[in-house]
Amino acid sequence: MNLCDPRTIKDIMTAFGLSFRKEFGQNFLTDIGTVEAIAESCAGDNTKTVLEIGAGFGSLTHELALRYENVIALEIDQGLIPLLGYTLSSDKNARVIEADVTKTDLGELLADSFKAGGVAVCANLPYYITTPILLQLLDSRLPFDSITVMVQSEVADRLCAAPGKPEYGSVTAYTGYFGECRRLLDVPAGRFLPPPKVDSAVVRIDLYKEKPVVPKDEKTLFRVIRAAFGQRRKTLPNALSAGFGELSKQAVTEAVTEAGIAANVRGETLSVDDFCRISDRLTEKLSAAEAQK
Ligand code: SAM
């Protein structure tokens, strides 16, 4: 069975009484070269298990099952579960679970998999929920070998942007704190059924085993990143003041300059390292302010 053939996909969907559900972001890949390339490049030497989010028709799940010891594939759409039983009937190492990833405790689900070896994430993400899923994966702190995801091309631009580029934003800096992001391949809209409105790209995030920069307080770092991009037109001290109302404008400006950064810069020019240095100065000032209360 050719799981990337549009005719086969339509016929089997019809046989199971299913149609493509837009609300779940169902755009299935129909290009075998692309599916193989994603499956090939999503893991490291040590990877034994791949977690797929959104199995859909099962084409990527199948290619993953051919390459890795275990595949755990989540799928929110109850209707697709019996269909996946059919399309993946030969893939005994692929386990499909009917679940909404955002309501799934991935640590619990993957506890045994992590004990058995490396775990990587591979997904052609539903566009309506790309960023929340990425943040869930990063916030989980699970030691994935890597996270490889297909996202809208414009989201890939943002994830992989360098400081100073217009695409560089809070998600870039946040992701950059956890790992290194690379754009692997561009995927035109015509390689999906039904075709989405925009082109896509595959990005791979290699999570740091040891982060190159570690702030004194992570929560403060994340507040700094949010505030810096919250008010893009403002200079950094002004933008940060809006996010750190408990400190005076003067204290915030000092934190910026003490971190070795000019007070007239904007957040989008700063690296994660810069944000960390500012965050550490702010952490000190927050503690001092707290002690004076
Ligand atoms: N992996 C298939 C492929 O590459 O052709 C399908 C990808 S399609 C873009 C996204 C899939 O994710 C759909 O099958 C959709 O039903 C599923 N999905 C959407 N939201 C989900 C969620 N919250 N949790 C798990 N799966 C979800």
* pTM as predicted: 0.95
8 A C-beta contact, residue 187 and residue 201: yes
212 cis-preceded (ω within 30 degrees of 0): no
In this prediction, residue 39 carries a pLDDT of 97
At residue 179, does pLDDT exceed 90? Answer: yes
> Which pLDDT band holds residue 292 (cuts at 50, 70, 90)?
confident
Which ranges of 151-235 does DSSP label H, i.e. alpha helix?
153-159, 170-178, 218-230
The one-character DSSP state at 79 is T
Query: Using CA atoms, how far apart are residues 193 and 3, in angstroms rounded to an integer?
Result: 12
Q: What sign does the CA torsion over 26, 28, 34, 36 have?
A: positive
In angstroms, what is the span from residue 101 Cα to ligand 1's centroid? 10
Q: Verify whether ligand 1 is closer than 6 Å to residue 248 (CB atom).
A: no
Which mutation among 9, 18, 28 tests ligand 1's pocket best, with the greatest number of atoms within 8 A of CB?
Answer: 28
List, for residues 12-22, the tens digit of each pLDDT value. Answer: 999 999 999 99
List, for residues 125-173, the tens digit of each pLDDT value. Answer: 999 999 999 999 999 999 999 999 999 999 999 999 999 999 999 999 9
Phi, then psi, of 120 in degrees rounded to 5: -120, 160
Q: Which of 253, 165, 176 is nearest to 261 (CA)?
A: 253
List, for residues 230-281, the tens digit of each pLDDT value. Answer: 887 888 999 999 999 999 999 999 999 999 999 998 889 999 999 999 999 9
Task: Locate 271 and state its tokens.
Answer: 């690296």
List, for residues 76-135, the tens digit of each pLDDT value. Answer: 999 999 999 999 999 999 999 999 999 999 999 999 999 999 999 999 999 999 999 999
List, for residues 62-80, the tens digit of each pLDDT value. Answer: 999 999 999 999 999 999 9
In this prediction, residue 290 carries a pLDDT of 85
In angstroms, what is the span from residue 113 Cα to ligand 1's centroid? 22
Q: Give the 3-state secondary structure percentages of the chain, helix then strand then coil, rounded to 5.
A: 50, 20, 35
In angstroms, what is the span from residue 126 Cα to ligand 1's centroid? 5
Nearest CA to ligand 1 atom 19: 24
Tell me whether strands 179-187 and 200-207 are parallel, antiparallel or unpaired. Answer: antiparallel
Q: Verify whether ligand 1 is closer than 6 Å to residue 194 (CB atom).
A: no
In angstroms, what is the span from residue 55 Cα to ligand 1's centroid? 6
Query: Using CA atoms, how far apart are residues 224 and 136, in angstroms rounded to an integer?
Result: 20
